[in-house]
Amino acid sequence: MHKAGRSRYGVAAAYWQFAREFLRHPRQIGAVCPSSPVLARRIASLVPPGRGLVLELGPGGGAVTAALLRHGIAAKDLVLLERSDALVRQLARRFPGVRLIHGDAARLASYDVLRSRHVRAVVSSLPLRSLPAPQVRAILDQISAIAGPDTVFIQFSYALHASYLGMARGFEREFSHLVWRNLPPARVESFRYCMQAAAA
């Protein structure tokens, strides 16, 4: 199992950098604190076993990344995609050996690695409630574009009730659950790509 990202220094530095980025770009970061370990573990537990890539969108300080690796996702199967320059630099230091794309979730289909292998799961911490609506639409369309049979899309948000915000075309909701031990409490939802729903 990948051991990176576990040192106290790594975790403290991640918190500090995250707070700085929030002050600089509040809408893009969309959260005052990194995800709690409980939330991160809950998200990781929803990734199905099997073959194919696990794509993490908006890994930020790496709390969910660390949980995914601890959950047993092989580093070679994990792809991180983050937009913030500062957080990308920090992720590269904290998770050497994990593929990291400095890019935009609204352009997923333009990244070769995401077209060349089946994507088993898309794990998103993107702040869909604070990003501009056209950008959210573009991101959800791109998730549908790289999905294949049974791709699972996991999204968390600070919505108390389940919403259709995280619904990408062709996906059907499978699971929705509130995690109280996070600041603020977060809703984790998972969706599965279904060829029939995509064709409808």
Ligand X SMILES: C[S@@+](CC[C@H](N)C(=O)[O-])C[C@H]1O[C@@H](n2cnc3c(N)ncnc32)[C@H](O)[C@@H]1O
Site residues for ligand X per CB under 6 A: 18, 28-31, 34-35, 57-58, 60-61, 63-64, 81-84, 87, 104-106, 125-127
Residue 173 has what DSSP assignment? E
C-beta of 87: minimal distance to ligand X in Å? 5
C-beta of 109: minimal distance to ligand X in Å? 14
Q: 3-state class of 18 per DSSP?
A: helix
Q: How far apart are CA 109 and CA 167, in angstroms?
A: 18
Shorter beta-carbon distance to ligand X: residue 84 or 190: 84
C-beta of 120: minimal distance to ligand X in Å? 19
| Strand 171-179 versus strand 186-193 pairing type | antiparallel
In one-letter notation, the amino acid at residue 7 is S
Residue nearest ligand X, CB atom distance: 58
DSSP H/E element including 16: helix 8-24
Residue 47's contacts (CB-CB under 8 Å, 6 or more residues apart) are 54, 68, 71, 73, 120, 121, 123, 152, 154
Chain-centre distance for alpha carbon 134:
19
C-beta of 154: minimal distance to ligand X in Å? 11
Shorter beta-carbon distance to ligand X: residue 12 or 195: 12
Shorter beta-carbon distance to ligand X: residue 125 or 151: 125
C-beta of 199: minimal distance to ligand X in Å? 28
Shorter beta-carbon distance to ligand X: residue 94 or 120: 94
Shorter beta-carbon distance to ligand X: residue 106 or 152: 106
Q: How far apart are CA 159 and CA 138, in angstroms?
A: 21
Residue 28's alpha-carbon distances to 99, 104, 137, 156, 180, in angstroms, are 22, 11, 15, 15, 23
